[in-house]
Amino acid sequence: MPISNVNTSQTTVQIDQSASFAQVNTKETQATNLSDSASKTEAPQKTGFYYAPFASEDILLFAAGTNQSRNTAGKQPRHIIVANDADKAKLETLKEQLIESKQTQASDIREKANAVISELNLEGFELLDFISSDAYNDMLKLAQNYSFEAEVLQQADIISNEKTGILGTLKNGESKIYVLGHGAYGSNEISSKRSASEEGYETVSSKDLAEQLSKGGLDKSFTDIRVESCFSADATEPESFEPEELKLASEPGYIDAPEYPELDGTKVFPFAQSLANDLKSAGFENPEVAGYHGAGKAYSDDPHRYQTLHTDDAPVARSSEVRELFLPV
């Protein structure tokens, strides 16, 4: 069902001017707002941790994508915090299975390359020509990539908050939390899988997530929480990364579904805004939740994260440039 910034039960555009930090900022342009938001939340000295509300393979792949970029940049991996021992055990099993799969894929590719040399009985210049070919080097590069992915997966620790109480040790100004999960614009839930039809599909609402962090012992003065789920800064789907388009996407939207009268006209917010509101309700003093416009790209060839849009031209932007900060309203 579509979501728009227009309440179809009325004849005027409905815009809640208090929906986010960017909307109450008095800077001249949205581009400056986004830059200010990024600089305000960016603290290079902070230690980042992932928080996984559920245990799924997708969570590990999310974390691995960013950790590969961090490894390339010479940075330490971000470790993954889960709520309890059961989630840790499940993720550890999935992690070992993924590592084994990546290592097997790397080994199989190398064996195929060697088999070609053996079967063709290549020697001398023919052998040199083959190992210098693009096809051979592409195979080796793919094998190296799988080995690298396995190595990065191995480096990230999975930490049970139930056992260690780590959330209670995180200090405001010294740590930051990145929430992992699949997201959608205008939704107050994130999920363990992309589709409800997939095995192991679970969801957590912004309210439940706020309660997890509160009951898990996170200090109520903690502020720096970032949601890496797709469209976490969007109530409606942006059509470009232009500042005015992102401003519109971050404002509350309305469900346009006349075929579902119980939902039609319902007001929706970006997930990051909903989480900021629910953290405040859970007792956090001044929560600041960063969301990202568009869909996150899982992997990058350089040390940076990127976002894209589901449009024909599929534009790409640095995640840090389309990050928006939300305060409770």
pLDDT band at 135 (very low <50, low <70, confident <90, very high): confident
Tell me which of 12-21, 113-122, 145-154, 276-285 is least confident.
12-21
Given this model, what pLDDT does residue 117 score?
74
pLDDT band at 1 (very low <50, low <70, confident <90, very high): low
Given this model, what pLDDT does residue 35 score?
46
Given this model, what pLDDT does residue 118 score?
75
Given this model, what pLDDT does residue 301 score?
79
The closest alpha carbon to 50, from 198, 226, 183, belongs to 226
Would you say residue 28 has pLDDT above 70? no
Rounded Cα distance, 211 and 55, in Å: 18
Q: Which residues pair with 177 in a beta bridge?
A: 49, 225
Given this model, what pLDDT does residue 45 score?
79
Would you say residue 8 has pLDDT above 80? no
Would you say residue 24 has pLDDT above 50? no
More confident residue, 109 or 6: 109
Give domain limits for the chain.
Answer: 3-46+173-326
45 touches 224 (CB < 8 A): no
Tens-digit pLDDT profile for residues 200-233: 999 999 999 999 999 999 999 999 999 999 999 9
Place of tokens 């679970």: 202
130 touches 136 (CB < 8 A): yes
Tell me which of 59-73, 110-124, 245-259 is least confident.
110-124
Place of tokens 């789920």: 229
Tens-digit pLDDT profile for residues 103-113: 999 999 998 88
Q: Which residues contact 224 (CB under 8 A, 6 or more apart)?
A: 41, 43, 46, 172, 175, 176, 177, 288, 290
Tens-digit pLDDT profile for residues 74-100: 999 999 999 999 999 999 999 999 999
Given this model, what pLDDT does residue 3 score?
61
